[in-house]
Amino acid sequence: MLIDLHAHTYPKSDDSFVSADELVDAARQCGMDGICLTEHDDFWPWAAAQELSRRHGILVLPGAEINTDAGHVLVFGLDEYKFGMHKPGFLREEADRHGAVLVAAHPYRRRFLADPGQDPAARSEMLKRALDDEMLRLFDAVESRNGRGKDSENLFSDDLREGLRLPGTGGSDTHYLRQMGTAATLFERRVTSLDDLVVELKAGRMRAVDLTAAAQESKGRAG
């Protein structure tokens, strides 16, 4: 089952240029079985996500992308933002209290620099520093494929995931419609609810999928 775990809509995310209806419809057209709405520091009401799902005939699940001192974190299983969630330890406590799951979003940011990263020794040192970051060990999974990331950045994220011995996820991180269909998460089992999603993420029964080639091919046919 193919689900995009990372996407943004306007006006809930003020840096997005996509409405919720546009996003969900685009996800369906790109062959997604589901889409997660992960606004910046904000959660969609469950009833609103269900209405989008009913209207477009595709699974729509609410989540959030929380800005923390350890970088951005995708959260599934919570339903409201609380002051203090910018602290990774507090966010972990909230997740444990409610049975939620935390995914490190685009972890290459602030940890990987593309120019010095071309040098193997410099890249190795950046990876070592990232692996030594105790805050990264508070998360349940790593976004190892981000649709807006460069190949070198996503490869760094995947190496980080492997070093942390955590499962990986994928998401388009859509802010513009053209970004939909670039990355997603392939789940081994069927997901029909937010509870299902949390269970499968915690079990690690999924993997990140790079869809950029398929997206480019689709755009070529459309042109």
Domain range enclosing 106: 2-218
Residue 117's pLDDT is 87
Percent of the chain surpassing pLDDT 90? 93
Residue 223 lies in a domain: no
Residue 81 lies in a domain: yes
Residue 91 lies in a domain: yes
Residue 13 lies in a domain: yes
What is the rounded distance in angstroms from the CA atom of residue 223 to the CA atom of residue 219? 6
Total domains present in the chain: 1
Residue 10, token pair as written in the block? 């306007």
- Taking alpha carbons only, the member of 161, 152, 89 closest to residue 130 is 161
Instruction: Give tens-digit pLDDT for 71-128.
Output: 999 999 999 999 999 999 999 999 999 999 999 999 999 999 988 989 999 999 999 9
pLDDT at 130 over 80: yes
Residue 9 lies in a domain: yes
Check which CATH number belongs to the domain holding 25 and give it. Answer: 3.20.20.140
Report residue 218's pLDDT band, with 50, 70 and 90 as the boundaries. Answer: low
Residue 86 lies in a domain: yes
Distances (CA, A) of 14 to 8, 10, 19, 42, 137: 9, 6, 11, 11, 30
